[in-house]
């Protein structure tokens, strides 16, 4: 799939202003949570905020993340295939290509794919998100995707969207991931602009999103 990043970037800006859940079919209503995930994520974000000069935040330290959380995808629907691809090996070249093209760390792309679909290209969520990076139909269409189950189209579109979120939030990975799951509109309405804001307002986001951010950051470390 040939997507002009400049054209797609402009389109994404329009989409982000009008959409609350563009990718992954995130939970529609905020709910508060006092789960352990909040404390884990806040510990990570506290470390990141201590180095404001860095554009890209450091990965979540393994000591903060319980081992049994790695590789778990709680947003995965019973409608999706129960089979889990053993590793990202089949998509290594594709992921590296998307990483180079859109300037997103390959380990972050792998982490998102792992959490979203467990590397199952045929995955479909209960909300209708499809493929490796779980694109909603409207988002995929806006990015020029004609077949969401085609790995190249799906990964390129998902990575482009993730890249735009990282740029929007100045490299704050936690905030970008929250927007990927819950939608940038919701994140913006809460006044979350960076990972320090996310730490302070984490409880205002859906529990699904709180868990999602923590898990993806942990998976990113796994793939580094």
Distance (Å, whole) CA 187 – CA 75: 19
**DSSP structural state of residue 23:** B
Question: Residue 173: exposed, middle, or buried by beta-carbon count in 10 A (0-12, 13-18, 19+)?
Answer: buried
Catalytic residue among 31, 92, 116, 208: 116
Hey, is 213 helix, strand or coil? Answer: helix
Place of tokens 């205002």: 204
CA distance 222 to 224: 6
* Contact (CB, 8 A) for 144 and 135: no
Give the Cα separation of 194 and 44 in Å (integer).
Answer: 13
Rounded to whole angstroms, the Cα distance separating 223 from 111 reads: 7
Closest CA to 116 of 91, 137, 134: 134
Q: Which residue reads 């209960």 in tokens?
A: 126
| Residue 205 in tokens | 């986001």
Query: Does residue 208 carry a catalytic annotation?
Result: no
Catalytic residues, by residue number, are: 116
């Amino acid at each position: 799939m040939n997507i002009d990043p400049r054209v797609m970037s402009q389109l994404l800006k329009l989409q982000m202003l009008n959409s609350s859940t563009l990718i992954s079919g995130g939970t529609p209503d905020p709910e508060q949570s006092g789960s352990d995930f909040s404390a884990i994520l806040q510990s990570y974000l506290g470390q990141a905020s201590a180095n404001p000069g860095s554009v890209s935040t450091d990965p979540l330290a393994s000591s903060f993340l319980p081992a049994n959380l790695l590789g778990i995808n709680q947003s995965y629907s019973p409608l999706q295939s129960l089979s889990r691809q053993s590793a990202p090996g089949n998509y290594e070249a594709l992921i590296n290509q998307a990483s180079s093209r859109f300037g997103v760390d390959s380990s972050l792309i792998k982490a998102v794919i792992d959490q979203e679909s467990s590397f199952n290209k045929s995955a479909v969520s209960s909300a209708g998100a499809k493929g490796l990076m779980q694109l909603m139909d409207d988002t995929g269409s806006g990015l020029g995707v004609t077949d969401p189950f085609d790995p190249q189209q799906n990964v390129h579109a998902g990575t482009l969207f993730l890249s735009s979120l990282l740029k929007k939030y100045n490299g704050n990975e936690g905030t970008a991931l929250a927007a990927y799951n819950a939608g940038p509109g919701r994140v913006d309405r809460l006044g979350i602009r960076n990972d320090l804001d996310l730490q302070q307002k984490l409880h205002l986001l859906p529990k699904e999103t709180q868990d999602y951010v923590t898990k993806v950051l942990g998976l990113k470390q796994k793939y580094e």
